[in-house]
């Protein structure tokens, strides 16, 4: 039997966000915007969903007198991402049998 996929990560933009954050110490909003190609509104909504699930931590402050938002993947988020990747791998292995 194939494993269930985390529905929170099984959407393109949320998976992109978590994948990007898994590879860096911290990612700011504009960097995520540039690397996902999302709109500001959609990116904000998806970041809030990941934050509510405690998959990422959001830090708000100022940088050079401008608002600055940055995101960091949490331990829970990293574990969920790794479990998702493992589950997808099982799907791929099953397909190749």
pLDDT score recorded for residue 97: 66
CA 81-83-85 angle, to 5 degrees, is 70
The predicted structure's pLDDT at residue 92:
87
- Where do the H-state alpha helices sit in 1-97? 12-22, 29-36, 40-52, 75-95
Question: What is the value of pTM for the model shown?
Answer: 0.91
* Other beta carbons within 10 Å of 38: 19
**Between 18 and 94, the higher pLDDT residue:** 18
Distance, in Å, from the CA atom of 90 to the CA atom of 84, rounded to the nearest integer, reads 10
**Which pLDDT tens digit goes with each residue over 36-76?**
999 999 999 999 999 999 999 999 999 899 999 999 999 99
- 3-state SS, residue 81: helix
Residue 25 DSSP class: S
Instruction: Give the model confidence (pLDDT) of 77-92 as tens digits.
Output: 999 999 999 999 998 8
């Amino acid at each position: 039997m194939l494993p269930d996929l985390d529905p929170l990560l099984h959407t393109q933009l949320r998976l992109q966000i978590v994948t990007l954050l898994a590879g860096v110490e911290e990612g700011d909003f504009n960097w995520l915007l540039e690397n996902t190609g999302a709109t500001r509104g959609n990116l904000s909504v998806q970041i809030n969903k990941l934050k509510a699930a405690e998959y990422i931590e959001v830090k708000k402050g100022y940088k050079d007198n401008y608002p600055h938002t940055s995101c960091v993947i949490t331990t829970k988020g990293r574990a969920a991402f790794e479990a998702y990747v493992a589950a997808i791998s099982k799907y791929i292995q099953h397909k190749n049998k």
